[in-house]
Structure 1
């Protein structure tokens, strides 16, 4: 069975964990335990939330007061180092919040949201403002493609056309 580490128990992290669990992934969800204010749902996210709420699947959820200190992707998955316990290996890692140094790894910067078995979901969500739909699309990609690289590429090309580019104006 494929294993996934989802870092961040906000709305995007929970949606990713639930959707991957539905696809028979073994999911570990970690968070540092902070509680967030409720997120208002509307549009596509509201529809995604309704679909996700109907999932009767068990979810292995573990809250850790730990930090991801490094990610070391190889050809088959990712070795994750934590600050307070031993390293663990996962098929994929989904960073649903700016949780670690994932975006500083070689090949994960620039315009990419994913590389080498690591998905930077928080970056896609930040760019699109549709966290539940992004989580569903990511899990759909893993259902459709057996190869992680192809799944990540499909996810990026499917989501990027819907990104919202914010225009910042200078205040004088």
Structure 2
């Protein structure tokens, strides 16, 4: 079974956990218990919420209150160091909120949302403003592609036009 670490239990993190769980991933969600303001759902997110709510699938994931202190990608996944227990290896890490120094992974371009088995979902959400759609598309990418490089490439290619449109229209 494929394993995923989702850092952040906000709307995008939980939507990602739900979709990956539905696709038979073993998911760990890191939650620091912070309460966030409600997120308005409109446009593509409204459609994504309808699809996610229609899924008759129980959400089974392990919730932890740990903190990620380091990410070490290798050829096949990511070794994650935590503040309160031993390191663990995951197939992918999804940063639904900033996680340690994920932005500083070697070769991660400023305009990129993913690299080396790590998806910076929070950046995609910031750039597009559509958290549920970005999360659902990320999980869809893993349904369509078994290789995470291909999945991340498809996800970025599919979602990137929404960032461009938002930049030109000034929508917040």
* TM-score normalised over the length of structure 2: 0.92
Structure 2 residues not aligned, in runs of 5+: none
Aligned to 2:43: 43
1:3 is aligned to 3
Q: Is the 8 A contact 1:33 1:63 kept in 2?
A: no
Does 2:161 correspond to 1:165? no
Distance in 2, Cα, partners of 1:167 & 1:131 = 18
Q: CA RMSD in A?
A: 1.5
Question: What is the 5 A alignment of 1:92-171?
Answer: 92-163=92-163, 164-165=166-167
Query: Secondary structure of the residue that 2:32 maps to in structure 1?
Result: coil
Q: How far apart in 1 are the matches of 2:93 and 2:156?
A: 16
Who is 2:63 aligned against?
62
Residues 16-70 of structure 1: CA deviation (Å, up to 9, x unaligned): 0001111111111111111112212112111111211233223213131x21111
Please give the secondary structure, in 2, of the residue aligned with 1:62.
strand
> TM-score if structure 1 supplies the norm length?
0.92
Q: Secondary structure at the match of 2:155?
A: helix
* Counterpart in the other structure of 1:76: 76
Query: 1:108, 1:59 → 2: CA distance?
Result: 31
* 1:24 equivalent in alignment to 2:11: no
What is the total number of aligned residue pairs between the two structures? 167
**CA offsets, 1:88-121, max 9 Å, x none?**
1100000001132100111223211001100000
